[in-house]
Amino acid sequence: MNSDFFAEGPQRDSRFKVVERWSDCANFPMDHPERLVEFLHRQMNEEVNGLECSARGLSDFPEEDWNLRMCMARQCSDESRHAQMFRRLLESKGGFVGQYPVLNFQYRIITKAPDLCSRMAIQNRSFEAGGIDAIAYSKDVAKKEGDTELAELYEAQLADEITHVRFANEWIRASIQKDPRNVLRVGNALNMASKAFFQVMGKEGTEGVEYPADSVGRLEAGFTLEEIQLASDLASGKSER
């Protein structure tokens, strides 16, 4: 993997096996009895990644606006709660912490960006915005399958993710108005993040994995109608990436 695209990973205790590529994870087929348990374990760790990224934003950029820092601190609290939610559900289904390999690619990609505007564009406006689509879709699937506990978890998670994306959208736009050079910084960071993401996931981890854009959630999260239409077109294959 190209080290130019990645920062050092976060620390994990001896219970965890940390891998670098999606292909090294336990990628069970759809009908495998362990598929859901493995997903909950992986998602638990990803929520910890979200907490760690937001905490690094607070520690690395202490001079930023107080209101923004309060939003980031609330995000730390939210991500911690999400990790606990996924752990409780994991353990209720017979799983345990450290049962499967985990990826820390989000932390390694996000913290590689040198400025806060770029980090928030990757974490909140990109990864978490995609999460809005995935969570909204998965919530409906869980309801149809009668998994009330999982559906309620998604419902709570979705409300928080919308908040995280909204404050980032507002702050990034204000930052660009203040300093138009942030457009170039963000564009370069997103380009690097896209290359890094593909190195981690590969074709086998991305092909066929698309969720319809959640127009209602994205609108609430502060995206414009034009941005939502573009996301919808990308998800449906109508627009080139």
Q: Please check the confidence at residue 63 and state whether its pLDDT lies above 80.
A: yes
Decide: 106 and 9 in contact? Cβ < 8 Å. Answer: no
Note the pLDDT of residue 3: 81
CATH class of 3-236: mainly alpha
> What is the DSSP code (8-state) at residue 22?
G
CA distance 207 to 196: 16
Q: What does the block give as tokens for 54?
A: 């937001």
Q: Please check the confidence at residue 241 and state whether its pLDDT lies above 50.
A: no
Note the pLDDT of residue 70: 98
Helices (H), 10-104: 35-60, 66-92
CA distance 67 to 19: 36
Parse the chain into domains and list their residue ranges: 3-236
Residues 120-138 pLDDT 10s: 999 999 999 999 999 999 9
19 forms bridges with which residues in the sheet? 103
CA distance 155 to 87: 16
- Output Rg (C-alpha) for the chain, integer angstroms: 17
- Across all residues in the chain, what is the average pLDDT? 94
Helices 66-92 and 35-60, axial angle in degrees (round to 10): 160
Q: Residue 24 — very low, low, confident or very high, per pLDDT cuts 50/70/90?
A: very high
Q: Please check the confidence at residue 39 and state whether its pLDDT lies above 80.
A: yes
CA distance 121 to 223: 13
User: Residue 64 — φ and ψ, nearest 5°?
Assistant: -70, 165
Residues 74-112 pLDDT 10s: 999 999 999 999 999 999 999 999 999 999 999 999 999
Q: Residue 206 — very low, low, confident or very high, per pLDDT cuts 50/70/90?
A: confident
Q: Please check the confidence at residue 148 and state whether its pLDDT lies above 90.
A: yes
Note the pLDDT of residue 238: 60
Q: What does the block give as tokens for 168?
A: 């980032």
* Residue whose C-alpha is closest to residue 83's, from 55, 63, 62, 64: 55
